[in-house]
Structure 1
């Protein structure tokens, strides 16, 4: 975001724009933010806010840096010990975003604070918090306070007496087609489609026939009557409903009232972060107040695992309860919980600062923009499940190490385990960068036996810089894995020589690289991937090699965490998201009613025009027998021959003028002629066999377009199509308005006469249309072949298929799809979409922001600590999580245990169980082994897609197989040699138990070679 011109740099902020929107981004441009306290939590908030793109960021913290800071403050080094923390890290924070000036505040008082829209205190005394909150109240600024103490965290918001939330959820407003509006205002959604509204929502109406006043009315409040109906009250004054209509949800601003800190301390309102700990916020509220008093009295935090200091804190807490009896009673104080706060308060853990820093930074953005619902008003969070089971004061004392902040909570023994982990990180994007940062601070892999392997095949793009914070502008074009490894080595020099950066994709085609020798020494795997197929593959490998997997993902403000543990939990693949809803083909081709339909149509058109056909032509030019060898039906042959004839003969351009002419003719075909033909088949006054108007409900009657070169969308289509056509043929572009005008003026566009006999499908269940009668298929094929020169005559000539790239603004890809989509939207009276929205939908962009990524990664690494501590057998201590920072909402659940398969008198784990065979048996020996050892009668054996054995095979065929070694059988059936170096073959079987019942055998059958 250019803070001078006001323009938003979409090449940098593209993914964030899809989460926050342009209006919110512009609001941030006018927001000055002050952060007080630059420890681990403060720098995490500063990093996320700087990446988001506020007007300015100011830091205040004169506290000298110490060793204990280095366990969570990644912009401090050992050379900074003794320097003021804000001054020591300001230059590194400033590097994050060229559009956000970052400075250090020298004096903290009411006059300096009044210059800021949002003020954040991190790990500050209650006395200072109260003073700063009083100043922000006076100036109208938002006040935020956050603190992390060991595995405990607290957050507080005060956004003033009246704070307007413009968009509470960030979800896209729902809309739907109507089938009826009764006179008393009961609205029925079309065709049993759920309306998706809630009581109190507002809607406006468009395209309602018979009620013109309703189309012009202000948004009306609704009352939900059922999943398909809602009421807007009496609408008789607007006329009588005839047909048609669309409802649109209209989001209404929401005004929230906040109490100042001084009042909220005595009368707190909590946002529950974990419903399994519903009673804990009140306890921790008392505990943190008591901890502040302890620091005042002792000028220091309690000593790690020191029982004397814990008793002092507990005594203070009891006095606090007396001071605030309305919060909890003295009899209900949780002494163990309060004592634990004291025992680890001096700790400084990166997973906690990442988690709460992501949350707090999102609250800063809410205060700047009014986008999403802020937390009201207190959030308490703890991860005591991540605490090692037994710790001593001696094990947790400071040793003058960069890991002192970790040791204060986890102890020296656990820290040593962390340092000697062998970790595998798949992906070095947004989550991957955050993961490596936390690992560097924890010291993961930094020990003598430790190692981190990270792989990512992608290189860095400019849009990555907004959320993949390890990368800087000079890194654009470099490999992500290498750049990320170098960056975290700068954070923690102990990792020098301990990180291996790879560029290979983890998949079936790289199993010779990521082989048994690679997987065996790995301790834990973490996914940082952005697609389901890759996640599923890594999950399967983790199950096979029996490795714990830390799985996570984000989608805008939403995030999820899953921990997969051998012999204990389900795997990632045990559950899948429902498939993406597809758009019916007839809707795309003839009856669109939403902009998503026209964008999908335009994307398909792009691929047909500039990619698929070109690839087909190149296959012909490279293989003269392509038609005979690859196409099985005459219809396929006719279609392919027509393409070859058009691309190589009839419509082959030789100049850029030819490309312009082609584009103009395609405009006429797609946006005029095809519409005229459709209306010829289905006139606007046509009715169905039931007497219902054909053009009703979701079907909109289209209107042909008349080309106008002065219409920006019309000209945009011609320009983009001509440039892409020229690229296909390697033709030099003459991209001037005069050239377009000259060519278009010289063209003679013939009048279009619709043809009879052309069948257009009304719905996907209709039979495929047949063309008009003409020459036979054989005659058509022979005529086309006679017109197409042999491939040899074209020499080395090849077309250049377009490889769709959404993030290059100069390649005309999104320009073409935007223009084509909006032209079709004009045909069907659908509201057009701007380039940004079109790019989002056509490019299937995953919206992303740094705040969610940081928070999710913090939660993931809290689960990592549990794995390191050897809690694998206690499923109840692990947590899968789902969060939505927009609401905000936290949801945690115990992982689902893996199922068991029972057979005979035995059972085996459905996911993690396996049968290991350490000898290359013959098929007969294989069958006998399961009969003898497991009491299973094998009926079928398969390997990958090859069926090796089935009881129904002919006896002669079986006799040949029984004596073959399993390796020989695999090679013979698959007709492929087993790759050299293969150490394990996997088999699947179907079998009956001793009672003759079919047994579902899902675990691996591993033949070790």
Structure 2
């Protein structure tokens, strides 16, 4: 098919994998949507990269700040040559290379109402509270989807406002479910019973229709009926007293119905927040982080900066300000962990590429939802933290050192890792490893990546280290060269080998015993199981991950080192 864009066909050779998930209708709606991403730090460029690869009509990257050494810690499209240059302008050309069908422009102008009205979705990642509230009020009044995002140390925040009447055409993207019918009662609140071995998998509010029903034939091909779930094998469909008597059989099938979702503006939602849980083991944490982020903005306005890393004085001052914000808040928290609030203050100035990858990936999905109406959006706040990672200078790693400390950073540099596969997940792993400073030349570390495949056009939609002129080149060589540009300090070696018994002479005892760990980025079970067995044998940690449509999986394997 021809090109991508409003009123044009979708390039199926480029978007083939994405089309399996979204479908043509959603892709066409995306291809008619203009997106603004304001704030091109590490988080902003991660969002922009994903949205551009996704295939919207256009992306405008906006920033009023110049690149600094702090940015190099997590910004994979900035180099030292870009220091002092506006961040949006510095990375606009590199972003443009990601997808020839998505025009990318850079803006350094103020976010005026006249400027904002041209976009379907607006993303803010580096704005003051005043600007957030002003932009939110305008977008809410004009049905422009607004997403706020922020990463601070090991904390992340997302806010979505898609307007008063946002239509979701498909809430979950799953194929409609169906089940065999065992019985239908004739009463005002008729109960449908499915066969014992056939759970219906329906939810309250779902709509259904019927076919092949004998007796109560009025249900066959009926208009979609809303249901109320009574159990795993039963649900109610309302009044059937005027229908014929049910005899036997039938199939019930779910009918996908559009759903209207009402969002509150930022000003309203700050006072009366709705949270999406990411970790039920931290059930009370979102309400505390909601106030901690407001406190951070107030602290920055008052002091002209964020709290200093690991400063007890700043942490104490932050805690005092938090208590004031909490006391004045309509969503006051009665009890909270003061240690959590102080830890937020101590590391919130840090900037970690891994956190940007998590929050940026989620925000990019929300952009796609805002453009296409496919899948249910976040309603309305999502808070995420990875405090389990905390282990209580003048270079690109300072934002990371602010979180983990200098000793931990030096240990990262000494790591020797084997990355198996340089496809979609492999590209993300290599980017993150390089930006983290894992496997540095000066520290004696190393990353070995192997992949026997060549780059195909369909890879370009999701394997962002590759460009159109790289088609038919080796994936591993091309990926290694790309991450060396992002961080020249990294020591990366590329192989084009399959992992298996036939390459055990190369990946032998000497090779495995020198490793600190292995990261799988494979697309077949046989190779994954083989690498797991090798890691168990050599007692090396294995990081395993995979994706299927909008679902993702991660796991640990192998064995703990001696």
TM-score, length basis structure 2: 0.94
* Matching residue of 2:351: 348
Note if contact 2:5-2:28 (Cα within 8 Å) is conserved in structure 1.
no
**Counterpart Cα distance in 2 of 1:312 and 1:340:** 12
**Counterpart Cα distance in 2 of 1:279 and 1:223:** 31
SS of residue in 2 equivalent to 1:124: coil
Deviation at 1:232, TM superposition (A): 2.7
Deviation at 1:270, TM superposition (A): 1.3
Deviation at 1:238, TM superposition (A): 5.1
**Counterpart Cα distance in 2 of 1:199 and 1:266:** 29
* Matching residue of 2:556: 563
Note if contact 1:416-1:447 (Cα within 8 Å) is conserved in structure 2.
no
**Counterpart Cα distance in 2 of 1:3 and 1:216:** 37
Note if contact 2:151-2:351 (Cα within 8 Å) is conserved in structure 1.
yes
* Matching residue of 1:489: 484
CA-atom RMSD, angstroms?
2.0
Find the partner of 2:428 among 403, 409, 434: 434
* Matching residue of 1:153: 156
Deviation at 1:541, TM superposition (A): 0.8
**Higher helix proportion, which one?**
1
Find the partner of 1:417 among 411, 414, 419: 411
SS of residue in 2 equivalent to 1:493: coil
Deviation at 1:235, TM superposition (A): 4.0
Answer yes or no: is 1:375 the counterpart of 2:378.
yes
Find the partner of 1:306 among 306, 311, 328: 311
**Higher strand proportion, which one?**
2
Deviation at 1:106, TM superposition (A): 3.6
Find the partner of 2:340 among 337, 342, 346: 337
Deviation at 1:259, TM superposition (A): 1.4
Deviation at 1:451, TM superposition (A): 0.5
- List aligned pairs for 1:593-604, cutoff 5 A: none
Mean alpha-carbon deviation: is it higher for 520-529 or for 277-286? 277-286
SS of residue in 2 equivalent to 1:364: helix
**Counterpart Cα distance in 2 of 1:503 and 1:87:** 36
* Matching residue of 2:279: 274
SS of residue in 2 equivalent to 1:356: helix
**Counterpart Cα distance in 2 of 1:192 and 1:282:** 42
Per-residue CA deviations over 1:912-931 (Å, capped at 9, x if unaligned) read 9xxxxxxxxxxxxxxxxxxx
* Matching residue of 1:74: 76
From the superposition, tell whether residues 228 and 312 of structure 1 become closer, same or farther in structure 2 (CA, over 3 Å): closer
Find the partner of 1:31 among 30, 33, 40: 33
SS of residue in 1 equivalent to 2:118: coil
Per-residue CA deviations over 1:947-973 (Å, capped at 9, x if unaligned) read xxxxxxxxxxxxxxxxxxxxxxxxxxx
* Matching residue of 2:43: 41
**Counterpart Cα distance in 2 of 1:192 and 1:117:** 46
* Matching residue of 2:259: 254
**Counterpart Cα distance in 2 of 1:417 and 1:109:** 46
Paired residues, what number? 556
From the superposition, tell whether residues 480 and 222 of structure 1 become closer, same or farther in structure 2 (CA, over 3 Å): same
Deviation at 1:477, TM superposition (A): 1.4
Deviation at 1:90, TM superposition (A): 0.7
Identify which of structures 1 and 2 has the higher relative contact order when contacts are C-alpha pairs closer than 8 Å and 6+ apart: 2
* Matching residue of 2:17: 15
**Counterpart Cα distance in 2 of 1:211 and 1:307:** 73
TM-score, length basis structure 1: 0.53
Note if contact 2:534-2:558 (Cα within 8 Å) is conserved in structure 1.
no
Per-residue CA deviations over 1:975-1003 (Å, capped at 9, x if unaligned) read xxxxxxxxxxxxxxxxxxxxxxxxxxxxx
SS of residue in 1 equivalent to 2:489: helix
From the superposition, tell whether residues 219 and 95 of structure 1 become closer, same or farther in structure 2 (CA, over 3 Å): same
**Counterpart Cα distance in 2 of 1:269 and 1:224:** 25
Specify every segment of 5 or more residues in structure 2 that has no aligned partner in the other structure, as ranges. Answer: none
Answer yes or no: is 1:516 the counterpart of 2:509.
yes
Deviation at 1:127, TM superposition (A): 1.4
**Counterpart Cα distance in 2 of 1:3 and 1:320:** 46
Deviation at 1:538, TM superposition (A): 0.8
* Matching residue of 2:451: 456
Deviation at 1:335, TM superposition (A): 2.3
Deviation at 1:401, TM superposition (A): 1.2
SS of residue in 1 equivalent to 2:220: helix
SS of residue in 2 equivalent to 1:196: coil
* Matching residue of 2:289: 284
* Matching residue of 1:293: 298
**Counterpart Cα distance in 1 of 2:270 and 2:193:** 48
- List aligned pairs for 1:634-649, cutoff 5 A: none
* Matching residue of 1:930: none
**Counterpart Cα distance in 2 of 1:338 and 1:315:** 10
Specify every segment of 5 or more residues in structure 1 that has no aligned partner in the other structure, as ranges. Answer: 391-398, 568-871, 873-911, 913-1009
**Counterpart Cα distance in 1 of 2:495 and 2:89:** 36
Deviation at 1:179, TM superposition (A): 5.1
Find the partner of 1:548 among 533, 541, 546: 541
* Matching residue of 1:721: none
Deviation at 1:183, TM superposition (A): 4.4
